[in-house]
Amino acid sequence: MPPIDLRSDTVTHPTPEMRRAMAEAEVGDDVFGDDPTVTALEARAAEITGMQAGLFVASGTMGNLVSLIAHVPRGGEVIAEAESHTLMDEQAGHAVIVGASARGIPARPDGTMDPALVHAAFRDPLDIHEPQTALVVLENTHAHSMGQPLTPAYTAEIAAIAHGHGVPLHIDGARLFNAAIALGVSAAQLVAPADSATFCLSKGLACPVGSVVVGSAGFVARARRARKLVGGGMRQVGILAAAGLVALRDGPAGMIERLAEDHVNARRLAEALAAMPGIADLDPARATTNFVVFRVVAANPGSAAASLRPRALRGRFLEALRAEGVLMVEYPHDTIRAVTHYGVDADDIERVIAACRSALAACGAASVPATPVA
Ligand code: TLP
């Protein structure tokens, strides 16, 4: 039996419908603007997000990078959440390629940054010593807070601060549609206050490759130039865009509505895990999208597991879990992440729960104290 892979929603395979659409896609050279399937995907992405234009890119990382290039001059500064993917997990592309510095603001438990801190992070444009703030970035859903969705009201508040300083707002919406489903709002409402956004097709929406950048026509024209600069101009790429067009269909024919199922599965997993001895720092009420993040600790302070470093215990748990046919992944601060997604159903989640119980016992985290011999 193949493992139940909860390391990420990036492991999803395309649906049979996507494979059919890919095989039959009408294509052309997209650098010449000749690929009708890419053009249709970009138009659909713009429509569904309420933006003027879209740009198909190879990945979420490329989407954020070309957005930064399009918004930020060399020597500019980006304000973003301190542990955001843009600052932490994209090889510092903002510094290496864009030539920008960054100001990281800590996240609160709900994934938001304190607006007062965002406001205070802006540089003084009249001070010759300082770089000039050029962009604010939000991440929705916010990954490191266990995938919390950011509301349109919060986004509008941050946009107002950015715009008040004459600076644009970009949203890293790698999981934008998870946020929309969780909050019961449209993707367009989530990005309306922003100047640009990236969303990923290759995560919960189950496409094999790709993300889309959306924004004004002028911004997308600059991002298109930036995409060519970083080697992202692709040719008969309608083959990949075709899957995106399937994913973005309305209703049950597409892949957006079904994200609700992933959220239910994440909540069920979180509730079951939170009740197990050996699982810590998990409030199941916070499982509102498709992430479950937790720590493994020794339930019995007198056990051998209690003498292990948190990382070592985590390693043993993940190994034991793998032996049970379930994959999860290390996450920052000694935590573990499980991500629910297309291809993992409610029955699989019950298997995962049983596997976690066994793995906690196998790694010693849930061991009971030795019964004293009378
Ligand atoms: N995230 C991946 C890993 O890189 C950690 C994952 O498994 O979650 N923004 C956010 C919020 C992301 O989580 C990711 C990918 C990206 C951007 C980058 O997308 P890709 O992997 O398509 O470059």
**pLDDT tens-place string over residues 48-99:** 999 999 999 999 999 999 999 999 999 999 999 999 999 999 999 999 999 9
What average pLDDT is seen over the chain?
A: 97
Share of the chain above pLDDT 70, in %: 98
The pLDDT of residue 43 is 98
Give the domain ranges of the chain. 12-253, 258-362
Of 365, 354, 358, 361, residue with least CA distance to 279: 365
Distance between first and last Cα of the chain: 45
Give the pLDDT mean for 348-353: 98
Q: Indicate if the pLDDT at residue 231 is higher than 90.
A: yes
With cut-offs at 50, 70 and 90, classify the pLDDT of residue 367: confident
Residue 34 to residue 239: CA distance in whole angstroms: 13
Q: Outline where DSSP puts E strands in 106-189.
A: 132-139, 169-173
Q: Indicate if the pLDDT at residue 241 is higher than 90.
A: yes
| 214 Cα to the center of ligand 1, angstroms | 17
Q: Indicate if the pLDDT at residue 369 is higher than 70.
A: no
| 333 Cα to the center of ligand 1, angstroms | 18
Of 125, 133, 69, residue with least CA distance to 101: 133
Contacts of 300 (CB under 8 A, 6+ apart): 306, 367, 368, 369
| 360 Cα to the center of ligand 1, angstroms | 28
Q: How buried is residue 187: exposed, middle or buried, by Cβ count under 10 Å (0-12/13-18/19+)? A: buried
CATH code of 12-253, in short, is: 3.40.640.10
Distance, C-alpha 135 to centroid of its chain: 20
Closest ligand 1 atom to the C-alpha of 89?
4
Show the ligand 1 pocket: residues with CB < 6 angstroms: 8, 10, 59-61, 85, 89, 139, 143, 172, 174, 200, 202, 211
Quick count: other Cβ atoms within 10 Å of Cβ 165? Answer: 17
Q: For strand 169-173 and strand 132-139, is the pairing parallel, antiparallel, or unpaired?
A: parallel
Give the pLDDT mean for 351-361: 97
Give the pLDDT mean for 346-368: 94
With cut-offs at 50, 70 and 90, classify the pLDDT of residue 370: low
Q: Indicate if the pLDDT at residue 368 is higher than 80.
A: no
7, 56, 59, 61, best to mutate for ligand 1 pocket (most atoms within 8 Å of CB): 61
The pLDDT of residue 219 is 98
Is the CA virtual torsion 55, 58, 60, 66 positive or negative?
Answer: negative
With cut-offs at 50, 70 and 90, classify the pLDDT of residue 1: confident
For domain 258-362, give the fold.
Aspartate Aminotransferase, domain 1 (3.90.1150)
